[in-house]
Amino acid sequence: PAALRRAARRVLLRNWTGASTVPSHGLYPHQWSWDSAFIAIGLRHLSVVRAQRELETLLAAQWGDGRVPHIVFNRTVPLGAYFPSPDFWRSSTAGAAAGAPADVETSGIVQPPVHALAAWLVHEADPAESARRGFLTRLYPRLAAWHGYLAGHRDLGGHGLVSMVHPWEPGMDNSPCWDGPLSRVEPAEPGSFRRADLDHGAAADRPTDLDYGRYVRLAADYRDHGYRDADTPHAFAVEDPSVNALLIASEHALAAIAGALGADPSPHLARAERLTGALVSRLWDADAGLFLCRDVRAGAPVRERSVAGLIPLIVPGLPADVADALLRTAAGEHFGLGGAVRLVPSYDLRGAAFDPSRYWRGPAWFNVNWLLERGLRQHGAPERADALRAAGLATAYASGFSEYVDPYTGQARGTRDFSWTAALALDLLA
């Protein structure tokens, strides 16, 4: 553990830029939204002040309508280092009507709302220092506005759940769940953009060119409608169980934050309860024993088993029969927990699209396994949680803190010295 701790700290120190942390200097040289939340959860063991700063830098780029952008661009990084770069998103001009900040360039889409959960965990690491610095007082209105944006602008299905409008938003970019909904999207011309990710990552570990053509088309459509949700056709709209579960967990955290500040927690608890009801009634599939994504445009569930469907284990008030079924599914043939795999895969081991190397089509990710570890502990499976924790730590270290791994062998995939892998290892060690 001492060598692991030292190595993880070294990654986080190297990836710190002075105000936030890059996920990786080569592949992702800016600040990413959900990365920063997971990074702050680990950074709190290294420096509470840095962990606070990580979240505050991100939230300083919040838009007037409450959205927290998925990328905050570092202006000292050359435009060609990452695609799509600020000249593609043009947030400060195209997003002006939606309240994009004028002094910083960002993307216009969002990522999963892990931030209130992260803020609460950072606060808990040193409540006295947090209070002395007024950390929660500054963050609370911003976090509340962020959740307000999701609830107010993103209930595209009309049943109280939040929709994601681009495959980059749920964070699981090329999940097989998006193959169906994406097939209706006309890809951008192959020659009209240049991928920078392939300069840093193996093509077999990354999404395909056809995926990228569709990602570009959807982002350009949103931009060309001023990033206004009411005006954008949103050809891609999905309800994702992991995004909604993270919102529920963060809404519980917001209730705790409100309580710590002497404010009224009840609106947050009420929203968490409403969302939990909608999650179960809309996305639970008792036959599959897991939550399914829903294609809002087709008006139908997506019949693929993604690990997104297990992540609701982090929801505190989940009905007991649902939680029990999720524990059985996690340990069954589709996800192999405690059996066939080292770490839980991102997608069905038995699924037709399973690929142990390609990004979110099978590899195991450390943030997902961190969430499941928490969920197992919360729902009465402490031995399974302990075993997953040990496997996560050993695999993070042996893989050089890789971005993701082959779920069977633990072989490193994607980039190395990846910040959230190091940060969450530190958190599991603590």
Q: Which DSSP helix (H) or strand (E) runs through 394? A: helix 382-398
- Could you give the CA distance from residue 251 to residue 264 in angstroms, rounded to a whole number? 13
User: Which residue's CB is nearer to ligand DGY, number 199 or number 264?
Assistant: 199
Residues binding ligand DGY: number (CB under 6 A)? 4
- Could you give the CA distance from residue 220 to residue 404 in angstroms, rounded to a whole number? 29
Let me know how many helices (H) and strands (E) the chain has, helices first. Answer: 16, 11
CB of 206 to ligand DGY, least distance (A): 7
Indicate whether 126 belongs to the interface with ligand DGY (CB under 6 A).
no
Site string for ligand DGY, 190-219 (x = CB under 6 A): -------x----------------------
User: Which residue's CB is nearer to ligand DGY, number 84 or number 336?
Assistant: 84
Please give the single-letter amino acid code of residue 342.
R
Q: Confirm if 100 and 106 have CB atoms less than 8 A apart.
A: yes
User: Which residue's CB is nearer to ligand DGY, number 110 or number 323?
Assistant: 110
CB of 143 to ligand DGY, least distance (A): 21
User: Which residue's CB is nearer to ligand DGY, number 173 or number 406?
Assistant: 173
Indicate whether 173 belongs to the interface with ligand DGY (CB under 6 A).
yes
- Could you give the CA distance from residue 303 to residue 13 in angstroms, rounded to a whole number? 42
- Could you give the CA distance from residue 26 to residue 33 in angstroms, rounded to a whole number? 17
User: Which residue's CB is nearer to ligand DGY, number 70 or number 334?
Assistant: 70
Question: By CB under 6 A, what part of segment 1-20 binds ligand DGY?
Answer: none
Contact residue for ligand DGY among 63, 168, 222, 236 (CB under 6 A): 168
- Could you give the CA distance from residue 258 to residue 238 in angstroms, rounded to a whole number? 30
CB of 187 to ligand DGY, least distance (A): 17
Q: Confirm if 3 and 421 have CB atoms less than 8 A apart.
A: no
Q: Give me the residue whose beta carbon is nearest to ligand DGY.
A: 168
In the Cβ-directed half-sphere of 182, how many Cα atoms lie within 13 Å? 24
User: Which residue's CB is nearer to ligand DGY, number 179 or number 197?
Assistant: 197
Residue 25: Cβ within 10 Å count? 16
Write out the catalytic residue numbers. Answer: 173, 403
- Could you give the CA distance from residue 339 to residue 335 in angstroms, rounded to a whole number? 9
Q: Confirm if 246 and 229 have CB atoms less than 8 A apart.
A: no
Closest CA to 391 of 413, 408, 375: 408
Q: Confirm if 301 and 234 have CB atoms less than 8 A apart.
A: no
User: Which residue's CB is nearer to ligand DGY, number 33 or number 130?
Assistant: 33
Q: Which DSSP helix (H) or strand (E) runs through 250? A: helix 241-260
- Could you give the CA distance from residue 392 to residue 370 in angstroms, rounded to a whole number? 8
CB of 335 to ligand DGY, least distance (A): 22
Q: Confirm if 242 and 112 have CB atoms less than 8 A apart.
A: yes
Indicate whether 179 belongs to the interface with ligand DGY (CB under 6 A).
no
Site string for ligand DGY, 48-87 (x = CB under 6 A): ----------------------x-----------------
Sign of CA dihedral 216, 217, 218, 222: positive
CB of 367 to ligand DGY, least distance (A): 12
User: Which residue's CB is nearer to ligand DGY, number 21 or number 52?
Assistant: 21
Structural Rg of the chain based on CA atoms: 20
- Could you give the CA distance from residue 185 to residue 162 in angstroms, rounded to a whole number? 21
CB of 314 to ligand DGY, least distance (A): 21
Would you tell me which residues interact with ligand DGY (CB under 6 A)?
A: 70, 168, 173, 197
